[in-house]
Amino acid sequence: MINPFFKNKGPIKIDDILRLSNIENNCGYKQDEIYDVKDLFTASNNDITFFHSKKYEFIATKTKAAYCITTKSLSHILPKNCLTIEVKNVLISTAEITKIFYPDSITDDFDSTVTNIESTYFNKNIKHGQNVLIGKNVKIGSNCLIGHNTIIESNVIIGNDCSIGSNVIIRNTLINNNVSVLDGCVIGKKGFGFFPNNNGNIRYPHVGIVIIEDNCEIGCGSTIDRGSLSNTIIGKNTYIDNQVHVAHNNKIGENCIIAGQVGFAGSSTLGNNVMIGGQAGISGHLKVGNNVQIGGGSGVIKSIPDNSKVMGYPAKDLKRFIKDNK
């Protein structure tokens, strides 16, 4: 899928990429043209990717990327078809390369193209409140409703039978059919991606999007950040309660129930039919299996296998938690 929200400057020759990002070209790479920067899983043989942690070793062995930013200690894991570029700090180098391909990805300025819905095609076709603003190239399906003071920015796509509440901001997002986004939500803003550096924190570009699949509900005041190099996805038939935060790159499965004030750090994956109680916290880069139940107020700091019931901080097997707290 071509990203409708961020313009890709590729193809760019590999030696130019390294020069512009201040990476030494020790291997003399010159002629290859690179079309995009992507994660290990989605990269093709025309792309550059990155590999910074053994957590992703299995995916790294199967990547189709032409080049990979990595460290000396990890480079041997990559397949022979993937040429390695060894650096000291993989994430900072990848951030610099991403900015070369997507120079507009750092800022999150307001959309200056928005106009009042009353002066657009949607005025007569959508039931809407006061002060609704619509950006360029927005697509909205039939039988939709939009509340007061809501902003839908350029290129957003909303399917049929959707209800968007009041005081909502939606950008960099694709919404499927029969989705309800309740009052006060902010969807598609950049994620909280920073790397500490001696010269100050470095913000990581976010060029991914948010995808909300069919029959979902997003509760009041919830925030869903767009992905960095991959997408943030809410699966079909998932209901998210009020004041929930979903950080960048999370993949939430189908038929999930997530209670109020749950917080997800970045890049975790939830299976299908997961239930999470209120105020639980899910750490980043974890995998929560199918049919998992997580008790309210729990702190999940490691991956959870299918069909588990956990509670506590750190989250542990429910039977053990009950025994330990008699």
| Contact of 267 with 284, CB cutoff 8 Å | yes
* Pick from 261, 263, 301: nearest CA to 278: 261
Position 159 pLDDT exceeds 80: yes
Return the SS3 of 59: helix
Task: Read off the pLDDT of each residue in 199-223 and give the average, rounded to a whole number.
Answer: 93
Measured distance CA(169)–CA(150) in Å, rounded: 6
3-state secondary structure of 83: strand
Does the pTM surpass 0.85? The reply is: yes
Q: Which CATH number fits domain 12-101: 1.10.10.10, 1.10.579.10, 3.30.420.40, 3.40.1390.10?
A: 3.40.1390.10
Instruction: Share the mean pLDDT of the chain.
Output: 95
Could you tell me what percent of the chain has a pLDDT over 70?
100
Name the pLDDT band for 124 (thresholds 50, 70, 90).
confident
Cβ(226)–Cβ(189) below 8 Å: yes
- Give yes or no for a contact between 276 and 259, defined as CB atoms under 8 angstroms apart: yes
Q: Where are the beta strands (DSSP E) in 67-113?
A: 67-70, 83-86
d(CA 261, CA 277) in angstroms, rounded, equals 9
CATH architecture under which domain 115-324 falls? 3 Solenoid (2.160)
d(CA 207, CA 229): 6
Residue 263 banded pLDDT, cuts 50, 70, 90: very high
- Angle, CA of 44, 49 and 54, to the nearest 5°: 120
Alpha carbon distance 127, 246 (integer Å): 29
CA dist., res. 68 & res. 110, Å (int) = 34
Distance of alpha carbon 79 from alpha carbon 76, whole angstroms: 8
Question: For this structure, is 52 an active site residue?
Answer: no
Asked whether 246 and 225 are in contact (CB, 8 A), the reply is yes
pLDDT digit string, tens, across residues 10-40? 999 999 999 999 998 888 888 799 999 999 9
CB 207 within 8 A of CB 188: no
- Single out the residue of 217, 245, 224 nearest to residue 171, CA to CA: 224
Q: Exactly one of 128, 206, 245, 248 is catalytic; which is it?
A: 248
Predicted confidence band of residue 314 (pLDDT cuts 50, 70, 90): very high
Where do the structural domains in the chain lie, given as residue ranges? 12-101, 115-324
Q: How far apart are CA 40 and CA 208, in angstroms?
A: 14
Could you give the CA distance from residue 283 to residue 286 in angstroms, rounded to a whole number? 7
Say what percent of the chain tops pLDDT 90: 87
Instruction: Return d(Cα 210, Cα 2) in angstroms, integer.
Output: 14
* pLDDT interval class at 1 (50, 70, 90): low
